[in-house]
């Protein structure tokens, strides 16, 4: 049962344009969401996160939007750069007695930004 | 470099052999996690420690897998009697505990295992 879904395996965007990566989740207990970026043969690198008490969080070129009613979040990258080409993972955790549960990841979306 | 450190970065082993991976977390982090990633999948949780206590294990962690964090600092993940299905990238991550404000986990560069 895939609780975090990234339905687009890949996305191609031209340099300078906006990249929009989508993520859906099914577990209504999830209330903290993160995006990670991964280059081949390296570990995931934390990009940006959002708590369920917010609907938007921005950090430079990266903005994450959260729509709790739709159980949907998206990562916007503006403007996209060739160095952004990587696999992007959406992850979620739920509040439990000991704090937060461990992260549940989606399968990732490969972003290719062409010059 | 004060990030999460893993070694070896790559390991090729014959089926049936034992392998051990080591992880050194970010120094002030008291939580340490092991994940596994295979091609086309996101990272899958294996186990985590808070200090030296192993608090949770995934059902992915068969009895051939054992993880330790004896002094609450570095951790080892041992796979006994390796099988070809164990071939994957093994990721270590660390964080502060949530009571200390740690909601984000930080990954190391991973250890690639190939079982031939």
With 80 as the cut, is the pLDDT of residue B2 above it?
no
* DSSP code per residue over B2-46: -S-EEE-SEEEE-TT--EEEEEE--TT--EEEEEEE-TTS--EEE
- Partners of residue B4 in chain A, C-beta under 8 Å: 43
Instruction: Provide the percentage of residues in chain B whose pLDDT is more than 90.
Output: 72
Q: Which two tokens stand for residue B32?
A: 């340490």
Can you read off the two tokens belonging to residue B77?
Answer: 């993940």
Using alpha carbons, select from A15, A19, A55, A56 the residue that is nearest to residue A37. A19
What is the DSSP pairing of strand A10-14 with strand A4-5?
unpaired
Q: How far apart are CA A75 and CA B75, in angstroms?
A: 33
Residue B1 confidence (pLDDT) above 70 = no
Best mutation site among A40, A52, A103, A104 for testing chain B: the one with the most B CBs within 10 Å? A103
More confident residue, A23 or B73: A23
Window A:9-68, CB contacts with B under 8 Å:
32, 34, 36, 41-46, 49, 51
Task: Answer whether B97 sits within 8 Å of A99, measured CB to CB.
Answer: yes
Nearest CB to A100 within list B103, B107, B110: B103
Contacts of A33 in chain B (CB under 8 A): none
pLDDT in tens, A7-64: 999 999 999 999 999 999 999 999 899 999 999 888 999 999 999 999 999 999 999 9
Contact indicator for A41, A94 with CB cutoff of 8 Å = no
Q: What is the pLDDT of residue B116?
A: 96
Question: How far apart (Å, rounded) are the C-alpha atoms in residues B51 and A44?
Answer: 23
From the list A46, A93, A106, the residue facing B42 with the nearest CB is A106
């Amino acid at each position: 049962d895939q609780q975090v879904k990234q339905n687009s395996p890949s996305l191609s965007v031209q340099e300078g344009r906006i990249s929009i990566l989508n993520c859906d989740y099914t577990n209504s207990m999830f209330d903290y969401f993160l995006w990670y970026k991964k280059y081949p043969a390296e570990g995931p690198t934390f990009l940006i996160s959002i708590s369920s008490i917010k609907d938007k969080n921005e950090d430079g070129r990266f903005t994450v939007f959260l729509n709790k009613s739709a159980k949907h979040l998206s990562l916007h990258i503006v403007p996209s750069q060739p160095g952004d080409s990587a696999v992007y993972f959406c992850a979620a955790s739920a509040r439990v007695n000991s704090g937060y549960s461990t992260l549940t990841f989606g399968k990732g979306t490969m972003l290719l930004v062409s010059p | 470099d004060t990030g999460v450190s893993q070694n070896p970065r790559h390991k090729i082993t014959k089926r049936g052999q034992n392998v051990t991976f080591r992880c050194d977390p970010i120094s002030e982090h008291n939580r340490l996690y092991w994940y596994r990633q295979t091609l086309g999948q996101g990272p899958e949780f294996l186990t985590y420690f808070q200090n030296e206590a192993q608090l949770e294990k995934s059902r992915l962690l068969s009895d051939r897998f054992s993880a330790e964090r004896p002094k609450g600092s570095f951790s080892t993940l041992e796979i006994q009697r390796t099988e070809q299905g164990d071939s994957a990238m093994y990721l270590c991550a660390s964080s502060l505990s949530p009571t200390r404000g740690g909601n984000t986990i930080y990954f190391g560069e991973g250890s690639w295992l190939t079982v031939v």
